[in-house]
Chains A and B, each alone.
Chain A
Amino acid sequence: MAQPLSQLPTPNSQLIVKFGIIVFPGSNCDRDVVYVTRDLLGQPTRTIWHEETDLDDVDVVVVPGGFSYGDYLRCGAIARFSPIMKAVVAHAKQGKYVLGICNGFQVLTEAGLLPGALVRNRDMHFICDRVPLHVESTDSIWTQGYNNTEISLPIAHGEGCYHADPETLDRLEANGQVLFRYAGTNPNGSLNNIAGICNETKNVIGMMPHPERAADPLLGRADGLQLFKNLI
Chain B
Amino acid sequence: MIDLSLSDRYIYNYHKVEGFSLKQKYQARIYVTLRPSVLDPAGTAVQSGLAHMGYTDVESVRIGKYIEVSLSATDETEAHKQLDVMCDQLFANPVIENYRVELGDGS
Which residues on the B side are within 8 Å of A117 (C-beta)? 93, 95-96
Main secondary structure of the interface of A (DSSP, over half): loop
A77→B65 CA distance, assembly (Å)? 14
Which residues on the A side are within 8 Å of B7 (C-beta)? none
Closest to A164 in B: B95
A158 CB, min distance to chain B CBs, angstroms: 10
Q: Given A123-B41, A124-B45, A163-B38, is A74 in contact with B93 using a C-beta cutoff of 8 Å?
A: yes
Evaluate contact between A73 and B41: CB separation under 8 angstroms.
no
Number of residue pairs A-B, CB distance < 8 angstroms: 37
The answer to whether the Cβ of B77 comes within 8 Å of any Cβ in the partner chain is: no
Band of interface residues on A:
20 to 34
Evaluate contact between B42 and A163: CB separation under 8 angstroms.
no
Q: Given A73-B91, A81-B90, A165-B37, is A119 in contact with B96 using a C-beta cutoff of 8 Å?
A: yes
The answer to whether the Cβ of B50 comes within 8 Å of any Cβ in the partner chain is: no
Evaluate contact between A120 and B93: CB separation under 8 angstroms.
no
The answer to whether the Cβ of A189 comes within 8 Å of any Cβ in the partner chain is: yes
Contact string against A for B residues 75-107, beta-carbon threshold 8 Å, 1 for contact and 0 otherwise: 000000000000000110101100000000000
Q: Given A116-B95, A163-B95, A163-B96, is A121 in contact with B90 using a C-beta cutoff of 8 Å?
A: no
Evaluate contact between A119 and B91: CB separation under 8 angstroms.
no
Q: Among residues 164 to 193 in chain A, which have CB atoms less than 8 Å away from a CB atom of chain B?
A: 164-165, 189
Which residues on the A side are within 8 Å of B42 (C-beta)? 120, 124
The answer to whether the Cβ of B39 comes within 8 Å of any Cβ in the partner chain is: yes
A116→B96 CA distance, assembly (Å)? 8
A116→B41 CA distance, assembly (Å)? 18
Evaluate contact between B95 and A122: CB separation under 8 angstroms.
no
A165→B38 CA distance, assembly (Å)? 10
How many positions in chain B have a CB within 8 Å of any CB in the partner chain? Answer: 13
Evaluate contact between A122 and B37: CB separation under 8 angstroms.
no
The answer to whether the Cβ of A136 comes within 8 Å of any Cβ in the partner chain is: no
Evaluate contact between A119 and B39: CB separation under 8 angstroms.
yes
A220→B5 CA distance, assembly (Å)? 71
Q: Among residues 98 to 126 in chain A, which have CB atoms less than 8 Å away from a CB atom of chain B?
A: 109-110, 115-117, 119-124
Evaluate contact between A110 and B39: CB separation under 8 angstroms.
no
- Of the candidates A77, A81, A165, A189, the one whose C-beta lies within 8 Å of that of B93 is A77
A213→B38 CA distance, assembly (Å)? 30
Q: Among residues 207 to 229 in chain A, which have CB atoms less than 8 Å away from a CB atom of chain B?
A: none
A75 CB, min distance to chain B CBs, angstroms: 10
Evaluate contact between A119 and B90: CB separation under 8 angstroms.
no
B9 CB, min distance to chain A CBs, angstroms: 30
Contact string against B for A residues 38-77, beta-carbon threshold 8 Å, 1 for contact and 0 otherwise: 0000000000000000000000000000000000011001
Taking A117-B95, A122-B41 as known contacts, 13 extra A-B pairs with beta carbons closer than 8 A to each other, sorted by chain A number, are A73-B65, A73-B90, A73-B91, A74-B93, A77-B90, A109-B95, A110-B93, A116-B95, A117-B93, A120-B40, A121-B41, A124-B42, A161-B39
Residues in A lying within 8 Å of B, measured CB to CB: 73-74, 77-78, 81, 109-110, 115-117, 119-124, 161, 163-165, 189
Q: 9 pairs across A/B with beta carbons < 8 Å?
A: A73-B91, A74-B93, A77-B90, A117-B95, A120-B41, A124-B41, A161-B39, A163-B95, A189-B39
